[in-house]
Structure 1
Amino acid sequence: MPTPYEDVYERFMGKIYDYSYLKISQEQLESIILPYLKTSIVKFKKCRQNLKDRDDVTGVFNVDLTEEEQEILSQLLLVEYLTPKLNHSDNLESVLSPSEYARFSQANKIKELRELRASAKSEANKLIMDYSWDRELDGLL
């Protein structure tokens, strides 16, 4: 049975607290998240399903993704969601501003974002390794 993108999006939304998303329509939210999903798909190279078999217009994978595959995609979405926040020009400009307080405060924010992204990426890599290992074990049995 095809898996709607919404199933992956729901898992992803449970991982973040971005209240600005409450102010926009579902269609707007999906248009924001879709590029993150596309990048996540590229990074999930070892997926047993063909993630290219999808319809971005209707928002559906034409394959039946397991709960584990959906969880891996949602974790990769989290990494992709955090990346532009870390690379945002406001972060860099504030670090270079003359105010020591702003510099310290913004530097701490960047450090926390960097650590959060690294943690999310590490969790995604662990999920993918476990997923790949299970596949190898299935092949041995």
Structure 2
Amino acid sequence: MSTPYSKVFNSFLGKITDYTYESYTDEELGGDLTSLLNSAIVEFDYPKVDIRDKSDDEQCFNTDLGIDETEILSFIMVERWIERQINNIELIKHRFSNKDFQYTSQANHLDALYQNQERIQKKVATLKTKYSYRRTGSNYYMPDYSGLSKGD
């Protein structure tokens, strides 16, 4: 029982538009997506399955990932991808004076990326919160509040 990375990669790629990936070889694309995935794994707090039990060489998790884990990992990958875009534009910004940068579309693009990053961060936080309350097994649709304080 294992889950291929491609399941998470396809979910991630369906959430973004990046034409630079078209010029990548399969090996380059796999390496870049694996790097984003590994960053996402570190950011995924308290998964209910062992997402760290994986093989980058075989491009698979050694456990079955459900739709929840796949979706959370792919959204965290989007968050890391946006962060990369922002860092790239910040490098461009440093090459120009503030006045020159204001007149380019880069400034507007950077603002849009910041807004999108905030939106994705909120989405990831919401997904993680809902995931943490979800039970496993046949009652997965019912919230699990057993870990909350009873007011003692």
TM beyond 0.5:
yes
TM-score (norm 2): 0.82
In structure 2, distance between residues paired with 1:97 and 1:127: 40
The 3 A distance-change label for structure 1 pair 95 and 13 is farther
In structure 1, distance between residues paired with 2:100 and 2:21: 33
* Per-residue deviation, 1:2: 0.4
* Per-residue deviation, 1:8: 0.0
Aligned residue type for 1:90 = I
Q: Higher relative contact order at CA 8 Å, sep ≥6: structure 1 or structure 2?
A: 1
| Equivalent residue in structure 1 for 2:95, among 88, 93, 96 | 93
Q: Tell me what 1:113 maps to.
A: 113
Indicate yes or no: 2:50 matched with 1:53. Answer: no
Moved more, 63-72 or 128-137: 128-137
> Considering only CA atoms, is the larger Rg found in Structure 1 or Structure 2?
2
Aligned residue type for 2:10 = E
Aligned residue type for 2:51 = L
In structure 1, distance between residues paired with 2:31 and 2:125: 26
The 3 A distance-change label for structure 1 pair 112 and 95 is farther
In structure 1, distance between residues paired with 2:68 and 2:110: 31
In structure 2, distance between residues paired with 1:58 and 1:22: 23
| CA displacement, residues 46-86 of structure 1 (integer Å, 9 cap, x when unaligned) | 21111111001111110100011100000000000110110
* Per-residue deviation, 1:92: 3.7
Q: Structure 2: where are the runs of 5+ without partners?
A: 136-141, 147-152
Q: Structure 1: where are the runs of 5+ without partners?
A: none
The 3 A distance-change label for structure 1 pair 112 and 100 is closer
Secondary structure of 1:63's counterpart equals coil
| CA displacement, residues 12-48 of structure 1 (integer Å, 9 cap, x when unaligned) | 0000111221222222111011111111101101211
The 3 A distance-change label for structure 1 pair 99 and 118 is closer
Q: Tell me what 1:26 maps to.
A: 26
The 3 A distance-change label for structure 1 pair 130 and 92 is farther
Matched pairs, number: 138
Please state which structure has a larger fraction of its residues in helix. 1
